[in-house]
Structures are given as structure tokens and as C-alpha cells.
Amino acid sequence: MRTLCRLFFVVLCVAVGLASSQQPRPLLDGSDAAAFQRVLEDDDGGIVLNLPPRFMWGWGPGLHGYCGSCSTQTSALFFGSWISQEFVRYAGGNAEILIGVNLASALASLGFAWERFGDKSDDTDVDSFLSWSATHLRVGHPVISGWYERLPPGAGDDDYDHIVPLVGLKQNSSGDVSEVFFNDLWENETRTKHTPLSSSRKHWRLPANSTTAAQPYEYSLPSDPCFGVAVLGRLPLEATYYPLRYPDRLQGYPVIRDPVTNGTQDDKRLVLLVASQWSEPDYGSEDGVNAQPTPISFQVAIFNLTIGRMYLLVRIDGNRTMALSTAANTTTLQISWMSAPFQAPSSAVTFSGDAASSLPHVSSRGVYHFVCLELAWVLPPAAASTYFSATSATPTSTQSPSATATSTSTLNSTTSPPVAVAPSPSETLQVAFGFAGVGFVLFILLGGVCCNATIRKRHRAETSALDSESLERTLLSQRQARDTEDIEMS
């Protein structure tokens, strides 16, 4: 019986061992997995952020437009969040988003840190603005800026007419800016503004006999004053979302809780989103288009990972309009999706919205934040080689799949090797229970065989004992008969 118990224990150990050493499920198909860089530079002093063009709502006569909302949406994608254009307006008091009016408060309500041009200096001219913008762009801070449109005489605003994302710029050896790259929110390409880069309102007009302007509009930065806001990053979700403040075990996973600081990121890991479509169906109240929201998917790139460490990608849905400090105040945010645990094969990995077992589609009408959490699992080198086989070189850059080639096309598409993920706890348990079931069946069969052999042995022993007893009785009878015969003869 002891031998059987030992055999059963060995079968269970083999089952668990095989379950934990299963080959990883591919998270990405290496043939179409794109790796991204956030900040690009070239040898000519240029810098470009990975901010694909997007189309804004509200183009048309008599409409205020959603340029501030769409510029905020573009910046949010750069930090791992999708925010519908209408939700940006909600965060800004359900009003048109304007620099110097409600853009900063909308960013704060949505959970982003910001810096407004002119707050730290009295210099508001275009040279000061471009120098300030270059400083932020080089550290990965998108800049939302105000521009003049070339309009008929008497039209337009004295401060600015349009709000756009500043994608990048080019500087000479003296630091002077010679080109500015921006998305005008109309064309599906990044545009280039050559010198002269700025103008006054008076001089940036169409001829006197012009009555209308046609797309694509001509743009210019104001000479003085300029208007801009730099988006510094997403504020820590750990400070506002209660389940992430103490996620020591998030749905069974041992999550390492990053310290909550005054930094501008959720943690040291940066997330970049690229949407599957460059326009969002316009359901806004201003336009009267009444378009229906559509499913949208994302490619997600995660940066600043530690090679060999285990991570988890989490999607948190909902608008964040206030600091949430207790478990009772979490109604506006919820964890709606989690990836399988994965080990970082390099400092950056990507999740594709089209790959199997990857990101599910969501409605374009919503707010979604992607956060990367580090797990406490540590694998020995030998185990890591069986868990994960993917390695990759330093990732290179690409534009959005939906974006056309731009005039700043130092953004070249590449592919990366497939990224692998570990089996989830549920998969490990399924395999373990499967082997345990086989072991149990073997235990029953072996037990039956052993029991049958024992019964047969006992039967033979009993039969042998009966035969011995009968022989003894026969011999005793014979002995008694001889004794009786001897007595009679005597």
C-alpha cells in the first residue's frame, strides 16, 4: 500500500511539473507585430513624437469644432488612454475646449499633468514658445498649441483660430527652429510648416476679394502672444483608483505595488496606444451628425520594462473626474480586462488588436486606460528558457497602420519577433488536474490488480492450510489404527 501511495504522489508531481513547464501561447504574430518608439530624432536636429493624425468633429460653418478635444485625445493615446472627444468636453464643463480657458482643467479632471506656456515666464513670443516646445518634445511631452487660419478679412480670432497637436520640429546648430510638424485634424497626414513660422493676425489673411477659405487651410503660429499646453503624462492611477492602491494580489496574481509619488506616470512603465481607425464616429450634440459609435481596437506598446521580469497589462474603463480615496468611491472606474502574465523579452513589447488571445474590441464611445503592472514571480534561468522563447532587438518605430506617409517620414515600419506569454493560472490548473485525473485512474487500476493478487494468494494459503490439516488427520487415524492393532495382537 505504501508503494501505491508513493506512486500516486510521483504522478501528481509529474503532472504539476508538466503543467508549469508548458510552452507559452504566442501573444503576437511576429509577422505583423509592430514595435514603437515614443520619441524620434534624426541627424539634422529634428524631433518627432509618435502622434498619428486624427480627424476632429465639428468641421463646418457655424460650428465651434472639437479641435481642443481631438488634440487632447491624441495626447492621451500617447500615454495609454483612449478618451472619446465628447468625454473631453464633459471634463471641460461640457463646453468647447480652449487653451487659456478650460483645457488645463479638463486635463486635470481626466487625470493628466500639464504645464501651460507663459506660466513660468513673461516671454510669450514665438521664439520663446518654440524653445519651450522643443524642451518638452525632447522628453516625450506632447504640446497642444493655438494657430491662425488664413481666413477672409474680418474673420478669425485675435488669439488663435485652431488648436492642434504639435508633433515635432527641426532645429539648426544654433537652436533656431526651421520647421514645425503638426496634425491639422483634417488631413490624414502630418503637415510641415516652413519658415516663416509665425505671423500677426493682421497679415495672416486671404486677399481682400476672398470670401471663404477651402481645406486644407493654411496655418501660422501667432507672433506674440503664443498659446500652448504641454501634456506631461498621466497621473498615478494608484492615487485615484482604490483597487490599484493595494493590489498585492490582483485576481490571484502577486502584483508589486509601485510607490505612489508626485510623478506624472502611473509607474515607471510607459504605455502607448495606436487606434485601429483615425476617425471617431461623431455622436456629439453640437454637430447633429448622430453617428453611432463603432467597435475600436488598439495596438499597445509598453516601454521601460526589465528584461526577464513578469508583467500584467490591465485595462481600466471609466472617466476619472475626481480623486478617489476609498473603496466606496470607485463607481467611475473598473478593471474590465487583463492580459495573461508575460515575461519581458526586451525593454519594450507590443500587444496587437488583431492577434489571437489579445486585446478585445471596445466601443469608441468611452474612456479606457491601459496600465502595466509588475508581478512578483521570479523564474530561475533554466525555467525561464522553457517558459519563454522570444527575444527581440531594440524596437524601432512605425506610424499608425491607418496613417499615410508623412513629410516627416523618418518613421519606418518594421516587425519584431513574436512575444510569448506564460500559461495563466487557470490553464496551469487545468493541465494539473488533467494529469491528476490520469494518476487517479492509474491508482484505481493498480489498486484493483494488487487487491486481486492478494485475494488469490490468501485463497491459495487457505487451501494449502486445509490440505495440511486433512493430511494430519489421515496420518493420525492411521497411527491410531496401528496402535489398536498392536494392542489386540498382544
Answer whether 185's CB lies under 8 Å from 148's CB.
no
Is residue 20 in some structural domain? no
Residue 81 lies in a domain: yes
Same domain, 448 and 342: no
**Domain end (from 422, 453, 476):** 422
Domain extent for 474: 2-15+429-489
Asked if the structure places residue 330 within a domain, the reply is yes
Please report whether residue 226 resides in a domain. Answer: yes
- Structural domains in the chain (count): 2
Per-residue three-class SS string for the chain: CHHHHHHHHHHHHHHHHHHHCCCCEECCCCCCCCCCCCEEECCCCEEEECCCCCECCCCCCCCCCCHHHHHHHHHHHHCCEEECHHHHHHHCCCCCCCCCCCHHHHHHHHCEEEEECCCCCCCCCHHHHHHHHHHHHCCCCCEEEEEEECECCCCCCCCCCEEEEEEEEEECCCCCEEEEEECCCCCCCCEEEECCCEECCCCCECCCCCCCCCCCCCEEEECCCCCEEEEEEECCHHHCCHHHHCCCCECCECECCCCCCCCCCCCCCEEEEEECCCECCCCCCCCCCCCCCCEECEEEEEECCCCCCEEEEEEEECCCCCCCCCHHHCCCCEEEEECCCEECCCCCEEECCCCCCCCCCEECCCEEEEEEEEECCCCCHHHHHHHCCCCCCCCCCCCCCCCCCCCCCCCCCCCCCCCEECCCHHHHHHHHHHHHHHHHHHHHHHHHHHHHHHHHHHHHHHHHHHHHHHHHHHHHHHHHHHHHHHHHHC
For residues 106 and 184, membership in a common domain is answered with yes
Shared domain for 337 and 457, answered yes or no, is no
Considering the domain architecture, whether residues 8 and 32 belong to the same structural domain is answered as: no
d(CA 412, CA 405): 9
* Same domain as 216, residue 156: yes
Domain boundary at 422, 443, 476, which? 422
9/59 same-domain check: no
Residues 224 and 272 in one domain: yes
Residue 21 domain-assigned (yes or no): no
Q: Are 349 and 471 within one domain?
A: no
Q: What are phi and psi of 69, to 5 degrees?
A: -65, -45
Q: What is each CA distance from 109 to 88, 112, 132, 251, 327, in whole angstroms?
A: 9, 8, 24, 28, 19
Let me know whether 407 and 466 are in one domain.
Answer: no
Domain assignment of residue 160, yes or no: yes
Among 399, 422, 445, the domain-final residue is: 422
Residues 443 and 409 in one domain: no
Biggest CA-to-CA distance, the chain: 167
Question: Is this model's pTM higher than 0.75 or not?
Answer: no
Judgement on whether residues 349 and 217 belong to the same structural domain of the protein: yes
- CA-CA-CA-CA torsion sign (380, 385, 387, 393): positive
In Å, how far are 37, 190, 396, 408 from 41, measured between CA atoms? Answer: 10, 16, 12, 11
What are the pLDDT tens digits along the chain (490 aa)? 555 555 555 445 444 444 433 333 333 333 233 346 788 776 677 899 999 999 999 998 778 789 999 999 999 999 999 999 999 998 888 899 999 999 999 998 888 999 999 888 889 999 999 999 999 999 899 999 999 999 998 888 999 999 999 999 998 888 899 999 999 999 999 999 999 999 999 999 998 888 778 899 999 999 999 999 999 998 876 655 656 655 566 777 788 876 655 455 444 788 999 898 999 999 987 888 889 999 998 888 898 898 888 988 888 888 654 333 334 434 467 888 888 888 888 888 887 654 434 578 889 999 999 988 888 876 544 443 333 333 222 222 223 222 222 222 222 222 232 333 344 444 445 555 565 666 666 667 776 666 666 666 666 666 666 666 666 677 677 677 767 766 767 6
Specify whether 274 is located in the same domain as 216. yes
Residues paired with 369 in a beta bridge:
81, 316
